[in-house]
Amino acid sequence: MTPPLAKPAPARASAPVYALVGNPNCGKSTLFNALTGLKQKVGNYPGVTVERKVGTAYTQHGHPITLIDLPGTYSLAARSPDEAVTRDVLLGRRDDTAMPDRIVCVVDATNLERNLYLVHQILDLGRPVILVLNMMDVAEELGIKIHTSRLEHILGIPVIACAASTGRGIIELKLALSRPDLPLSKHAWDIPVAIAPAVSELQASLQDDDRKPPLVARAEALLLLTDPDRLRVAGSTPLSARTHATLAQWEKRWAAEGTDWAGALVNARYDSIGRLTAEVVSTAPTAPVGPSTSDKIDAWVTHPVWGWLIFGVLMAAMFLSIFTLAGIPMGWIESLMGFVSGHVSSWIPPGDLHDLVIDGALAGVQGVIVFLPQILILFFFIGLLENTGYMARAAFIMDRLMSKVGLNGRSFIPLLGSYACAIPGIMATRTIEQPKDRLVTILVAPFMSCSARLPVYLLLIAALVPTSEVPVGTKVSIMLLMYAMGTFGAFGFAWFFKKTLLRGAPPLMIMELPPYRLPRLRDVGLQMLERAGVFVKRAGTVILGLSIILWFLATYPKAPEGTPQQEALAHSFAGRAGHILEPAIAPLGFDWRIGIGLINSFAAREVFNSAMSVIFAVEESNDEATTRLHLRDALRAAERPDGTKLFTPLVCLNLMFFYVFAMQCLSTIAVVKRETNSWRWPLFQLGYMTGFAWTLCLVVYQVGRALGY
Amino acid sequence: MDNWQTPLALLVVAATLGLLLRGAWKKRRKPGCGGDCGCPTDDFKAKLKK
């Protein structure tokens, strides 16, 4: 048994660096945000696509301290790049990040025994540690009582009871962070006798050749004996040859003896944790027994049949709301834009600047911003479902389907994120352990209909089905069809890749289902407004800018005076680009004007709407029309040179199919390149997705025409 | 009378192009979604907890 250490750590002259560590979903990031507020910097660890979050907090005396929010991990035995970075930073293996001076371990108080495994390993490091028992409010509701003072006495370190989501315990934690004389732990546990010589030899090698401090060397020796360092990431300092040789020698010896030394070590650690929790945790007699309310709801929500029905009903209700509730505010926005256009038009006499402002900037922005109410409703519902805890159940249901295509249920969270935007979805794949599963998820994530596609779908549905004649259920069904096609397209290609290019064994998934809770409408509302703000900001910056550029491309070079408007548009840069593309897209039913929209969509998908606004406004403006048609009416009135309608129902549907499947986002391509560290995969993704979209649309259009549509 | 309007419009277009290219270059050096995609940023998550 190692001797206890109670000598306080010496006070440091400069501000210390704290690392925040804990299991996933223990509330660590909520705590980090509560301590640092807006004073955070997010970057990447060099050489590896893992996020590095550093923030500044302040002691009670106003001195700054640095906090590093390390990726969540269940133990120092890393199973993914995120977890490897946490391990490496704590063990001082990274040249770009110094070993933290002090460590804040955040644990979920409702599941102390499991969470203490990581804490137990960290206490071995011999660094000053503060233990934060988070989610104490939930623990108390469940009748779990933790004797924090007893725990503090046994471990010899500060233990703070906390509920980061409500702010409870934050002040006490700040006081603990402010202490210059943080004590070292009295933590000690019994290592199996048979393993002690191996620990000593490895510790000596780590101290001498790898130059580790004694206690860190011992902790690393214990880790290497249970997890022989299989996962290494870029930026991690390799171990010395002597350490590797010592480890290999002991592994060989125990393999010959048939001793499961790794298992023995893990069991010894769990025994120590079990004795500790038995002393400090008690469950109240009034604690509920049997299935909780969440369990009873889950019996329906995760049922193989009812679960899917409930999921379908919720999605249908969400889209129904989008189509029914948004009509009036959309009208307000259109009136407002018309009012602004009318006034600006009266201030600037006819000319190029007038056309740039009215037909370029305002028309382009209106084409996107008019869908703001529908975006708001969508994010309101998503926020509501997330806040209640339902989304984890959706991931659970999806896992059944995803395992059939060879994907981990962990892929569902990145894919779910891709419904908002593929970029954070693709970045979220960093938590997927298996490289092939991660790559497959990255390759199929853009199939999820992102929020940028929503304005395009809404415009084309409005052009396809006039409001007054068709039940709203038809529009809902078309929208659901688009989302379903994208989702099943993703699963289909995932299955294909897992059977061919990226073959691998189907992975296991273990996930936690958080308890249900009543949604915090304030949080949902704030989140909805935040996303609305981002959407409006994007419309006012990127979309506005692209609309101005598009107006220029659709106006210059100018055709000679008196040229008919269609020909004038065809004469412009945009028209010429559209005409170059037209032979490739004509078999799909698209013409050069749609081609301009498709080209512009590579910058941002919703720019299709702006492009159509600019193109049809440009066509209208020189006719001196006194009223501007709504864009959807303009599309429905648009004609081909032979006088037939351009946006027939078949073309509208086909265009939506194209947007579901084609890879049209340069930003996503750039992120895929970064995450895969190569141009091969993003170019492959661009090729296979766009090729599939083209082929599908070709078949749909040609068969549709043959059937008389 | 759009003699003054044409060069002004072209100036606006050039300035817009410059700003868009500058934004794209900045994103290249600081990769990430930058909040443009509509996901809640970390700054915002911090606000939620205030």
pLDDT digits (tens, 9 = 90+) for A110-166: 889 889 999 999 998 888 999 999 989 888 888 889 999 999 999 999 999 998 878
Tracing tokens 């010896």 back to the chain, one arrives at A253
User: Which residues of chain A are within 8 Å of residue B48 when distances are taken between CB atoms?
Assistant: 33, 523, 526-527
User: Which residues of chain B are within 8 Å of residue A44 when distances are taken between CB atoms?
Assistant: 31
Is the CB of B35 inside 8 Å of chain A's CB atoms?
A: yes
Neighbouring residues of A572: CB distance < 8 A, sequence distance ≥ 6: A553, A554, A555, A556, A557, A558, A559
Chain B nearest CA to A357, separation (Å): 9
Report how many Cβ contacts below 8 Å link chain A to chain B: 128
* Dist. CA A242–CA A249, nearest whole Å: 10
Report the pLDDT value the prediction gives residue A19, as an integer from 0 to 100: 93
Contact B31/A671, CB-based, under 8 Å? Answer: yes
Q: For an interface test with A, give the residue of B3, B37, B42 to mutate (most A CBs within 10 A).
A: B37
Is the CB of B20 inside 8 Å of chain A's CB atoms?
A: yes
Contact A353/B1, CB-based, under 8 Å? Answer: no
Report the pLDDT value the prediction gives residue A627, as an integer from 0 to 100: 38
Chain A, 590-649: which have a CB under 8 Å from a chain B CB?
none
**Closest to B37 (Cβ–Cβ): which among A34, A38, A420?**
A420
Residue A442: exposed, middle, or buried by beta-carbon count in 10 A (0-12, 13-18, 19+)? buried
pTM of the model: 0.64
* Dist. CA A557–CA A566, nearest whole Å: 14
Residues of chain A with CATH 3.40.50.300: 17-178
Provide the 3-class DSSP secondary structure of residue A439: helix
| Neighbouring C-alpha atoms within 13 Å toward the C-beta of A463 | 30
**Closest to A548 (Cβ–Cβ): which among B16, B44, B48?**
B16
The partner residues of A413 in beta bridges, in order of sequence, read: none
Judge whether A444 and A415 are in contact, CB under 8 Å.
yes
* Dist. CA B5–CA A212, nearest whole Å: 71
Structure tokens at A605: 């998908």
Nearest to A453 by CA among A596, A660, A697: A660
**Closest to B48 (Cβ–Cβ): which among A36, A356, A523?**
A523
The partner residues of A134 in beta bridges, in order of sequence, read: A108
What is the separation of C-alpha A521 from the centre of its chain, rounded to a whole number of angstroms? Answer: 22
Contact A423/B42, CB-based, under 8 Å? Answer: no
Percent of chain B whose pLDDT exceeds 90: 26
Provide the 3-class DSSP secondary structure of residue A55: strand
Per-residue buried b or exposed e for A115-149, using 16+ beta carbons within 10 Å of the residue's own CB: bbbbbbbbbbbbbbbbbbbbbbbbbbebebebebe
Structure tokens at B38: 């509509």
Judge whether A603 and A546 are in contact, CB under 8 Å.
yes
Neighbouring residues of A209: CB distance < 8 A, sequence distance ≥ 6: A240, A241, A242, A243
Chain B nearest CA to A405, separation (Å): 28
- H-helix or E-strand spanning residue A381: helix A372-388
Chain A, 482-521: which have a CB under 8 Å from a chain B CB?
none
Is the CB of B17 inside 8 Å of chain A's CB atoms?
A: yes
Whole-angstrom CA distances from A420 to A602, A663, A666, B10 are 17, 16, 16, 35
Three-class SS string for A159-214?
EEECECCCCECHHHHHHHHHCCCCECCCCCCCCCHHHHHHHHHHHHHHHHCCCCCH
Is the pLDDT confidence value at B49 over 50?
no
Three-class SS string for A61-83?
CCCEEEEEECCCCCCCCCCCHHH
* Dist. CA A227–CA A121, nearest whole Å: 13
Q: For an interface test with B, give the residue of A423, A542, A551 to mutate (most B CBs within 10 A).
A: A423
Neighbouring residues of A338: CB distance < 8 A, sequence distance ≥ 6: A628
Report the pLDDT value the prediction gives residue A468, as an integer from 0 to 100: 61
* Dist. CA A667–CA A603, nearest whole Å: 8
Nearest C-alpha in A relative to B3:
A351
**Closest to B40 (Cβ–Cβ): which among A29, A527, A545?**
A527
How are beta strands A51-58 and A40-44 bridged, if at all? antiparallel
User: Which residues of chain B are within 8 Å of residue A452 when distances are taken between CB atoms?
Assistant: 37
Judge whether A169 and A163 are in contact, CB under 8 Å.
yes
Contact B20/A542, CB-based, under 8 Å? Answer: yes
User: Which residues of chain A are within 8 Å of residue B22 when distances are taken between CB atoms?
Assistant: none
Three-class SS string for A596-656?
HHHHHCCCCCCHHHHHHHHHHHHHHHCCCCCCCCCHHHHHHHCECCCCCECCCHHHHHHHH
| Count of CB atoms situated within 10 Å of the CB of A346 | 8
Nearest C-alpha in B relative to A542:
B20
Is the CB of B36 inside 8 Å of chain A's CB atoms?
A: yes
Contact B9/A356, CB-based, under 8 Å? Answer: yes
Is the pLDDT confidence value at B37 over 80?
no
Q: Which amino acid is at A528?
A: M
Contact A34/B20, CB-based, under 8 Å? Answer: no
User: Which residues of chain B are within 8 Å of residue A167 when distances are taken between CB atoms?
Assistant: 49
Whole-angstrom CA distances from A467 to A458, A473, A474 are 12, 11, 10
* Dist. CA A41–CA A61, nearest whole Å: 23
Round the CA-based radius of gyration of chain B to a whole number and report it: 18
Report the pLDDT value the prediction gives residue A424, as an integer from 0 to 100: 73
Backbone angles phi, psi at A16, to 5 degrees: -80, 160
Structure tokens at A8: 């306080």
**Binning pLDDT at 50, 70 and 90, where does residue B33 land?**
very low
Structure tokens at B46: 């911090």
Q: For an interface test with A, give the residue of B8, B10, B27, B39 to mutate (most A CBs within 10 A).
A: B39
User: Which residues of chain B are within 8 Å of residue A37 when distances are taken between CB atoms?
Assistant: 46, 50
- Identify each DSSP E strand in A347-386 by its residue range: none
Report the pLDDT value the prediction gives residue A654, as an integer from 0 to 100: 94
Domain A17-178, CATH class in plain words: alpha beta
Q: What are the start-end ranges of the H helices in A405-503?
A: 412-417, 422-427, 435-444, 454-464, 472-499
Judge whether A596 and A577 are in contact, CB under 8 Å.
yes
Q: For an interface test with B, give the residue of A552, A606, A607, A668 to mutate (most B CBs within 10 A).
A: A552
Backbone angles phi, psi at A324, to 5 degrees: -95, -40
**Closest to B33 (Cβ–Cβ): which among A38, A40, A423?**
A423
Is the CB of B26 inside 8 Å of chain A's CB atoms?
A: no
Structure tokens at A595: 């081609």
Q: Collect the ranges in chain A with pLDDT lower than 70.
A: 1-14, 38-51, 228-235, 284-291, 409, 431, 433, 466-470, 505-512, 617-630
Judge whether A109 and A142 are in contact, CB under 8 Å.
no
Residues of chain A with CATH 1.10.287: 193-283
Per-residue buried b or exposed e for A494-529, using 16+ beta carbons within 10 Å of the residue's own CB: bbbbbeeebeeeebebeeeeebbeebeeebbebbbe
Specify the CATH architecture of the domain A193-283. Orthogonal Bundle (1.10)
**Closest to B39 (Cβ–Cβ): which among A34, A420, A667?**
A420
**Predicted ipTM beyond 0.85:** no
